[in-house]
């Protein structure tokens, strides 16, 4: 009888396997999703937490661009994990630790976004976008080359915008809503114009 009860318990109390990591280092987000996120948690092995909201425009204009809203911090944590995943992918692909990803623009509050001429609906204001450059062994990658590598890394994204000298990564708040679109973007007479491309 006792053996029968133990068998029943083993069936109904079986531990579930953890869900697949879709952000690269998504464990941090899963662990923090039920508790308040501190801004320092945005940092990881290859990025300092301040890189995700640093802004020369904000500094020059005396604007506090440090995010405090939990929803934005949650989004930035996901963005941080995806960029860390990309960094590790590049290290493995090129078999070198000499990889540098520079965030030229991360989170922007509405004031900073307005001053830099960002779109009124920019994902930067939600913590769901980053403009980046990357160098491998000291050589900077062209934005289109970097876009191809982002696709190869299997990161889910909403839009990759290839601009003159940077690559814009935009994400949806919910993973299932990411469209994985790749576009060329340029500013014409003060307005951003995009067109879909295949690479």
Can you say whether the dihedral through the CA atoms of 43, 47, 50, 51 is positive or negative? Answer: negative
Q: Which residue has the tokens 């990411």?
A: 178
Q: Is 12 exposed, middle or buried (0-12, 13-18, 19+ CB in 10 A)?
A: exposed
Q: Determine the pLDDT at residue 20.
A: 38
- Give the model's confidence band at 19: pLDDT under 50 very low, under 70 low, under 90 confident, else very high: very low
This prediction has a pTM of 0.81
Segment among 16-25, 91-100, 175-184 with least mean pLDDT: 16-25
- Per-position DSSP letters for 114-177, written without gaps between them: HHTT--TT-GGGGT-EEEEEEEETTEEPPHHHHHHHHHHTT---SEEEE-SS-EEEE--SSGGG
Q: Which of 132, 136, 139, 178 is nearest to 158 (CA)?
A: 178
Domain 25-196, architecture per CATH:
2-Layer Sandwich (3.30)
- Write out pLDDT tens, residues 157-193: 999 999 989 999 999 999 999 999 999 888 777 777 8
DSSP state of 43: -
């Amino acid at each position: 009888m006792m053996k029968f009860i133990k068998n029943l318990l083993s069936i109904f109390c079986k531990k579930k396997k953890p869900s697949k990591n879709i952000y690269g280092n998504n464990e941090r987000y899963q662990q923090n999703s039920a508790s308040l996120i501190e801004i320092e948690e945005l940092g990881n092995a290859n990025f300092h937490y301040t890189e995700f909201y640093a802004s020369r425009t904000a500094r020059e204009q005396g604007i506090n661009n440090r995010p405090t809203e939990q929803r934005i911090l949650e989004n930035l944590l996901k963005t941080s994990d995806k960029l860390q995943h990309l960094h590790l992918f590049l290290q493995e692909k090129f078999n070198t630790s000499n990889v540098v990803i520079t965030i030229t623009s991360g989170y922007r509050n509405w004031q900073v976004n307005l001053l830099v001429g960002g779109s009124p609906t920019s994902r930067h204001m939600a913590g769901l976008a980053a403009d980046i450059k990357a160098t491998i062994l000291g050589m900077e990658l062209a934005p289109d080359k970097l876009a191809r590598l982002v696709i190869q890394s299997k990161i889910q994204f909403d839009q990759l915008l290839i601009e003159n000298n940077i690559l814009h990564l935009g994400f949806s708040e919910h993973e299932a809503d990411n469209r994985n679109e790749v576009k060329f973007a340029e500013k014409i007479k003060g307005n951003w114009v995009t067109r879909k491309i295949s690479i």
